[in-house]
A and B are shown apart, each in its own frame.
Chain A
Amino acid sequence: MASPTPAPHFLRQSRWNPYLVGTAIGVLSWIVFAVVDKPLGVTTALTGLAGACAAPFLGTDTVAANAYFKSHVFKLDYGMLFLGGIALGGFLSAILSGSFRAEIIPTVWRERFGGSVAKRLVAAFVGGILAMYGARLADGCTSGNGISGSLQLAVGGWTFFLTLFASGILTSLVLFGTGRSSKN
C-alpha cells in the first residue's frame, strides 16, 4: 500500500478509506430518507427499465398486461434518475482519478478460469440474471435490503444481508475453492 510518490489530491485518489465511504453512504441515506422520503435502492427502478427494454422483444401489450410490470411502470422518477446518477458518478469518479479503463476479464477470474472472453461474458450475463431474479424475489438488493433495510432494523433486511453472505461464501468456495492466490 505504501507509495513512493506523495499521495494525490483527495479528489484524484482512486480509492478512499472504506470507513469514510461507509459513513458517507450512511449520511447519504439520511438525506434520501429526509428529502425524498424513500429508501435508497436500485432494483425497484431497474424493474421498470427491464419492462421498457422487454417491450420491443415481447410486445408492448404483453408487458403492459403483466401484473408485476403494471406495478413497476417505467417512468423518469426519483428511482430511475438515481440510477442515471450512479452511472454519472461512477464515470466522473473514474475519469477524475484516472482509473477509467476497459475491463473484460478481471484478475481474480482470469487466475481461476483463464482468458476466454466468451466464458467470462456468459458468466457475467447469467450472474446478472440470477442477481436480479433473486433481488426481486427478496424485494430488494444489497442497497434496498442490505443497507436500507438493515439500517431500519428491518427483519427482512437483516435476513437478506446474512443469507446473501452465506450464499456468497458457499458459491465462491464452489467456484474458486480454498486455494491461495494473489489478493487483487
Chain B
Amino acid sequence: MHLLAAVTPPVTGPAALVASVVLGAIFGVLLHRGGVANYNVIVNQFRFRDFTVLKIMLTAIIVGGLGVLALNSVGLANYHIKAANMLGVVLGAAIFGVGMVLYGYCPGTAIAAAASGSIHGLVGLAGLLVGGTLYAFSFPWIAKNILPVAALGKVRLPDVTGVPAVVWFVALLAIALTVFFFIERAERRAAASAPS
C-alpha cells in the first residue's frame, strides 16, 4: 500500500525506540498524576478556581530552562527554537485557547486523558486529527498570507532584549515564587473556611 511505503524506517536502533516510548510514558504518568489529564482541573485554571496548570507549567519552564541552559553551555544540548512568526503565533494561540477550554484538554493531556478513560477526550482526539488535516489543506494560503507577517525568525528573549538568559531566569524565578506564595496562601484560606 502507498501509505505503508511512506512509513520510513523506524528510529535508529531498538534502544532509541524504547527510549522514546519510555520518555513518553514518563510524561504521560506525570500529566495524569499532576491532575492535568482532568477536564475540570484545566477548565478551572482559566476560571481562577484551580492553579494546578500554572504551578506545573511555570515550575517545568524554570527547572527545565535552567537545566537546558547549563547543558547547552557545556555543549551537551542544542537549542531548538521555532520561528517566531508573530501573527501566526498570536492567532494560533488565540484559537488554541478557545479550543482548549471547549475541549478541556490540550493535545498532550488529551492523549493521557483518553488513555485513562475519558470518552469525550477520545472523541476530541478525532477532532485534533481533523484540525490537523484542515490546517494542512489551508497551509498554502496561510504560508503566503499569515506566516510572513511580523516574522522575527528563530529568536530568543536574550537576543531581542540584550538581557542575558540567567537574568531572565532569576526574574522568572522571583515572579513564580511570588505568584506561588499568593496562590498557596489563598488556597490555605479557602481550605480553612470551606466545610469540605
Closest chain-A Cβ to B190's Cβ sits at a distance in Å of 8
- Which of A13, A100, A183 makes the CB contact (< 8 A) with B116? A100
A145 near B108 with CB under 8 A, answer: no
Could you say which residues of chain A place their CB within 8 Å of the CB of B123?
121, 124-125, 128
Q: Are A42 and B108 in contact (CB under 8 A)?
A: yes
Query: Cα distance A42–B132 when bound, in Å?
Result: 12
B11–A77 contact, CB under 8 A? yes
Is the CB of B186 closer than 8 A to any CB of chain A?
no
Set of chain A residues within 8 Å of B30, measured between Cβ atoms:
16, 21, 24-25, 28, 89
B40 touches A106 (CB 8 A): yes
Q: Are B102 and A54 in contact (CB under 8 A)?
A: no
Q: How far is the CA of A172 from the CA of B107 in the complex (A)?
A: 18
Q: Bound complex: CA of A161 vs CA of B165, how far in Å?
A: 18
CB neighbours of A51 from chain B (8 A):
132-133, 136
Q: Which of B65-96 contact A (CB under 8 A)?
A: 65, 67-68, 71, 76-86, 88-96
Closest chain-A Cβ to B42's Cβ sits at a distance in Å of 9
Known: A85-B25, A184-B41. A104 touches B120 (CB 8 A): yes
Instruction: Give a binary string over A67-105; 1 marks a CB under 8 Å from any B CB, 0 the rest.
Output: 111001111111101111111111111100101111111
CB nearest to B139 among chain A residues:
A68
Contact A169 B46, beta carbon cutoff 8 Å = yes
Establish whether residues B85 and A156, one from each chain, have CB atoms under 8 Å apart when the complex forms: yes
Determine whether the beta carbon of A91 is less than 8 Å from that of B115.
yes
B161: shortest Cβ distance to chain A, in Å?
Answer: 9
Chain B residues with CB below 8 A from A157, complex form = 82
Q: Is B34 in contact with A139, judged by CB distance below 8 angstroms?
A: no
Are A155 and B25 neighbours in the complex by a CB distance under 8 Å? no
Taking CB atoms and an 8 Å cut-off, the chain B residues in 1-54 that contact chain A are 1-3, 6-8, 10-11, 16-17, 19-35, 37-41, 43-50, 52
B156 to A153, Cβ gap below 8 A? yes
Q: Evaluate contact between B20 and A82: CB separation under 8 angstroms.
A: yes
Is the pair B33, A15 in contact by a Cβ cutoff of 8 Å? yes
Nearest CB in chain B: distance from A122 CB, A? 9
Say whether A168 faces chain B, with CB atoms less than 8 Å apart: yes
**Residue pair B93, A73 in contact (C-beta under 8 Å):** no
Q: Are the CB atoms of A107 and B40 closer together than 8 Å?
A: yes
| A146 CA to B67 CA, complexed, in Å | 17
CB nearest to A35 among chain B residues:
B19
For residue B44, give the distance in angstroms from its CB to the closest CB of chain A: 6
Contacting residue for B84 out of A125, A159, A171, A172, CB 8 A? A159
Given A50, A81, A90, which contacts B111 in the complex, CB threshold below 8 Å?
A90
Known: A88-B25, A131-B127, A184-B40. 4 other contacts (CB 8 A): A33-B80, A35-B19, A86-B28, A134-B99
Residues of B within 8 A of A (CB): 1-3, 6-8, 10-11, 16-17, 19-35, 37-41, 43-50, 52, 55-65, 67-68, 71, 76-86, 88-121, 123-137, 139-140, 142-143, 146, 152, 154-160, 165, 168, 180, 191, 196
User: Can you list 10 contacts pairing A with B, beta carbon distance less than 8 Å?
Assistant: A18-B35, A19-B55, A34-B76, A39-B80, A60-B3, A67-B139, A88-B21, A90-B32, A121-B123, A151-B61
